[in-house]
């Protein structure tokens, strides 16, 4: 398995339009068949010092393997998402995991 | 869905014994039935400035909901894992996601 987890911090977190636009962009990614499972969400209500809940939206994708992840990275729907939405975030942090 | 992602930095990353002990501890968590899906792994080979590949091991758990996550947190197997293994890591970072 290959896990690709992305945490997004909005440029304008107070803008409901920006948030909705990024959410819609993330939802568009579900159509990419290389993805095995897609989780799209927001910070849970848990609060402990070791928990980073400062992000605005998150995308966690599970792929069968790195090859499937690479197909996703180059997929036109993903490239369109980045082109259309990258102005919405000020920061992203990614964790890629070679998982079992 | 509730995603609980934990990234571990070992106190002694050069110790293969410590790494194996943490890996074994993480594997023990798979027996907790409240978990829907468990991914245990290491940094993938991807390298970009936005990718944090500095951690040593990761645990990503998917639960049906927060109630299932709460059962996991208080489960004896999880509490034993923390008690037995917490000396192995110098840092953990957690992202909890309320996901769809």
> Domain segments of chain B: what residues?
2-46+53-98
The answer, yes or no, to whether ipTM is higher than 0.90 is yes
Q: Does B84 touch chain A (CB under 8 A)?
A: no
Please report, in angstroms and rounded to a whole number, the separation of the first and last CA atoms in chain B.
Answer: 6
pTM of the complete model beyond 0.90: yes
- Calpha distance B43→B52 (Å, rounded): 9
- A30-52 pLDDT, tens digit per residue, is 999 999 999 999 999 999 999 99
User: What letter would DSSP give residue A79?
Assistant: H
User: What letter would DSSP give residue A95?
Assistant: E
Pairs of residues, one from chain A and one from chain B, whose beta carbons lie less than 8 Å apart: 111
- B58-70 pLDDT, tens digit per residue, is 999 999 999 999 9
Nearest Cβ partner of B94 from A39, A51, A100? A51
> Which of 2.60.120.260, 3.40.50.300, 3.30.70.100, 2.40.50.100 would CATH assign to domain B2-46+53-98?
3.30.70.100
């Amino acid at each position: 398995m290959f896990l690709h987890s992305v945490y997004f911090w909005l440029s304008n977190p107070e803008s409901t339009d920006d948030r909705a636009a990024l959410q819609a962009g993330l939802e568009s990614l579900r159509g990419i068949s290389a993805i095995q499972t897609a989780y799209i969400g927001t910070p849970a209500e848990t609060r402990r010092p070791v928990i980073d809940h400062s992000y605005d939206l998150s995308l966690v994708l599970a792929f069968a393997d790195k090859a499937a992840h690479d197909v996703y990275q180059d997929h036109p729907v993903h490239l369109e998402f980045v082109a259309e939405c990258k102005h919405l975030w000020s920061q992203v942090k990614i964790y890629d995991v070679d998982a079992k």
